[in-house]
Amino acid sequence: MEAESLSLPRQFFEELKRRRVIRVATIYVLALWPIIQIIDILAPAIGLPNIALRYMLIVFIGGLPLALILSWLYDLNRGGIVRATETATRPGHPLISRSAEIVMIGVLLLAIGLLFFLDLSLTFEDDKKGPAIESSSAAINEPGISFIAVLPFVSFSESREDELFADGLTEELLNVLSQIKYLRVIARTTSFAYKGVSKNIQEIGAELGVDTILEGSVRRNDVENTIRVTAQLIDTHSGTHLWSNSFDREFRDIFKIQDEIAAAVVRQLDLTLGEEETRRLQSRATTSPEAMVAYGMGRTALSRRTNVSLGDAERYFQQAMALDPDYADAYAELANAYSLQAALQSARRAELLAMAQVQVDKSMAIDPDNGAAWAAQGLILMMRGATDLTQVQPAREALAKAIELNPSLPMANMWYGNLMEDPAEQQRYHTIAFELDPRSPVAGFNLANDLILAGRESEAMEIFSRIVEADPNYPGAYLLIAQLNEFRGRLGEAIRHYEKVYQLQPTGQTALKLSTLWVDIGDFDRSEQWIERAANNLPPEMENALTWRKISTAVARGDRSAAELLMTKLLEDTPDNPTTLMNAVRAAYYMEDYGSAVAAFEQLIAMDLPTTDQFNSEVLETQAGMAFAYQKLGRKGEADTLATDVEGRILEAIETRARVNPNLWFALAQLDAMRGENNLALIHLQRAVDEGWREHWRPMVEPVMAGLVKEPAFDAMMQGLTTRMDLIREQIAFDESFESDWKI
């Protein structure tokens, strides 16, 4: 009677308790939820794809109703699995006592709490690192900045010539607006990626992170030689039109239309212009519509950055200059075409850079305050700075001037970032470049590379996806994957992707990297094959690296006499410039001629040359060797001073950089060995191995480590490293054999 007096919901609740359905539900959630959380935390480390986690979550949710139904129908007790009847006052003795269930639930709740705390801590650590890609305002860090994108104006004509004209008008508007101090204009590469794309303004605005978008259309009447241009400025957040207008003019008045559109943008965005900005806004880059079209075509070709496209860009810019000899921007971009060709054609490098300088001089003679010309000058000096360090600071100054005159130049910001010594500043300028041109593969590559070096690989992969989407054949995208695999010790995968890079763009730098990997894993024949390929297409600044790669290959394969012959040839050069002096320092050190090594080192120091990276591992290792050379010459005070300085910079780099070059740990081991602290040297050498150091042959030829290599622990350490390299080599051979067997 008591049960009958209860309400139906109450009866149902009591029945759920009797059949232990509520307990089963509680234990089910508390037991499986921590498992899901653990897998979620470990997924990146074990390479589990996101979709696998999604399927597990579906199974977890879908399994709950099934567990509840089974607990309603059956009971698991000490007598086994029995049917739970409605008449039974209570199923048999439970398999787990009530007190045990309470303890189990408490433990599971504690586990959930710990997992929540761990997840919160990891999130907090990520937040302290900062976002992968700063927002535009955070990257530029200036108040009152507005961001705008100019989408390609649509041509209402099937004529290819009219379409090119519309593109040229868009290009000119981009150039004019980009000169306004408090306006940041998304670059041409990205803007033109939306040509013909069916997306609404708010979607595009969100993707580009801009406040407003300028779009329009062009209709030409060839019979009457008139033109109608319609333009509209739209707020990307609300989708409302801030301004729109139509212009019906004669064709020759196109530049007046451009001026009116630019003035309307300034007015609607309430931008205050300085006297110089006003003058530049009213001036025109060209008075020839045909030259404007040719310039736009050149810019399109320039953005692809291949030998063929750069040759096309060269011809288009020359055409624009022929149509308008006072077209300063065309001269500046022609200079860039020559400089970028120089980067790909090492044999013509000096000639092409000289040709680029002629064009920059012409551009600046026409317009001394042309931001594009100053950026082109900075690129020339930066490329010369690879072999002449005295050019580095002038390059920085030229690029800083370019940014001052035209803050919206993405390449100026990117190149300026390349010359920054501080990794944070480098990433800041690379971020600005990427924000201004998020569809530029080269801008994306530089920022992604910064993130990889900062240990933020997942964020770098997001940019990798954007790069591949923008250009599936961009070599830099596969270079990023190769570097990631190399950092992770997956040398087989690294080699495969470096070979893909070389296939897309066969440069000496990539060939040299492949030769380095092959010598590290012990395949000297393949290393020498890649050395030969590198020698056929290597820029001048890499010749030194090529020589030392030949030396290290000879040493690694045990041919000490061949290595000494190469080093002797280096010493025959008159040491009168930074490159020959550094060669003399290193060669004399390895040949244990410490007097010559120190003399060349002191001559190098006296030159007081600027550097782009005070934490360069090769420089620090060389200086550690020089501390030992001073010691061997009995100049203990100088040895200790240099060793302390080098050690300080190494420790600073280790403490401040998220991804540490393993060669820095090797340099520490050099200093430890010099001081006779072999146990500490072995610890640091093991740390180098753990961080990815692979030059197992090198300690045997390091004079400072002559005592260390006799330690039994050293031999065991190197045996472990060489065994790992042997296994990698065998795995690569097996994979290649497997692939060849399956080829049809």
Residue 331 pLDDT: 97
Facing residues of 247 across strands? 229
Residue 105 pLDDT: 59
Say how many C-beta atoms besides its own lie within 10 A of residue 407's C-beta.
23
The Cα–Cα gap between 277 and 369 comes to 11
Minimum mean pLDDT range among 293-297, 379-383, 386-390, 662-666: 386-390
- 45 pLDDT band, cuts 50/70/90, is very low
Domains of the chain with CATH codes: 2-129 (no CATH), 139-284 (3.40.50.10070), 290-406 (1.25.40.10), 623-744 (no CATH)
Q: What is the pLDDT of residues 529-544, one digit of tens each?
A: 999 999 887 777 778 8
Tokens encoding 660: 């540490």
Residue 419 pLDDT: 93
Contact yes or no for 209/131 (Cβ under 8 A)? no
What percentage of the chain carries pLDDT values higher than 70?
78
Minimum mean pLDDT range among 300-309, 430-439, 555-564: 300-309
Q: Say how many residues make up the chain.
A: 744
CB neighbour burial string for 191-227, b if at least 16 within 10 angstroms, e if fewer: bbbbeeeeeebeebbeebbbbbbbbbebbbeeeeeeb
Higher pLDDT, 452 or 75: 452
- 76 pLDDT band, cuts 50/70/90, is low
pLDDT surpasses 50 at 237: yes
* For residues 227-236, average pLDDT: 91
Q: What is the pLDDT of residues 519-576, one digit of tens each?
A: 999 899 999 999 999 988 777 777 888 899 999 999 998 899 999 999 998 888 777 7
Contacts 24+ apart (CB under 8 A), 533-536: 533/502, 533/506, 533/508, 534/508, 534/509, 535/508, 536/508
pLDDT surpasses 90 at 270: no
Nearest one of 715, 728, 721 to 486, comparing CA atoms: 728
DSSP-assigned letters across all residues of 604-623: HHHT----S-TT-HHHHHHH
Phi, psi of 490 (to 5 degrees): -90, 75
pLDDT surpasses 80 at 253: no
